[in-house]
Amino acid sequence: MITVRLARPDDAPAIVALVNSAYRGDSSRAGWTTEADLLGGQRTDEAAIRDFIAGAPQQRMLVHEDADGALQACVQLQSRGDYAYLGMLTIRPTLQAAGLGRALLAAAEHDAQTHWGISRMVMTVIEQRDELIAWYERRGYSRTGETAAFPYGDARFGEPKRPDLRFVVLTKELPVVP
């Protein structure tokens, strides 16, 4: 398992830069998780990240740094009663496909179990992201059959490049932590 720590408010600018570079624009094309063909604009902004970090104890943002302290990965967790919602799993594009995402996902699941005592994770993924959905399915997540609307008209989530975006809901039952 990798080493993670809780994000601090002063991490917000680095988190925003990391997330936007991994999901949007030309920099995101260095990895395989790009949404650049589906969405333009930003993936998140500093105010949203600061608000999320300030939402503790029901919200946790975990970050992973390299030996020099540079942010390499992050993930959001939110307690929603009997499950945790996982979002914004982000790996620096040039480090993708090397196992860091798998390790961060495992660390996030473990953190949610030990911190909140939950036994189920839930997430949403853009329906058109077949390769990403398949990646989560290989890690034990399954489609619930539910979908959620994409927030069209809210520039905080990006600028859609097509009219048919929506999210699929994925879930995973977690083993009991001793």
Q: Which of 9, 5, 45 is nearest to 24 (CA)?
A: 45
pLDDT digits (tens, 9 = 90+) for 146-165: 999 999 998 888 899 999 99
Look at residue 124 and tell me if it is in a domain. Answer: yes
Look at residue 52 and tell me if it is in a domain. Answer: yes
User: Helix, strand, or coil here: 9?
Assistant: helix
pLDDT score at 178:
67
Look at residue 178 and tell me if it is in a domain. Answer: no
Q: What is the pTM of this model?
A: 0.94
| Helix H or strand E encompassing 108 | helix 100-116
CATH number at residue 109: 3.40.630.30
Look at residue 112 and tell me if it is in a domain. Answer: yes
Look at residue 85 and tell me if it is in a domain. Answer: yes
Single-letter code of the amino acid located at 2: I
Domain span holding position 89: 5-173
pLDDT score at 8:
97
DSSP string, 10-79: GGHHHHHHHHHHHHSTGGGGGSS---TTTEES-S--HHHHHHHHHTTTSEEEEEEE-TTS-EEEEEEEEE
User: Helix, strand, or coil here: 94?
Assistant: helix
Least confident of 6-20, 30-44, 54-68, 160-174: 30-44
Distance CA 3, CA 171 (A): 24
How many domains is the chain built from? 1
Q: Is the pLDDT of residue 1 over 80?
A: no
Look at residue 70 and tell me if it is in a domain. Answer: yes
Average pLDDT over every residue of 47-74: 95
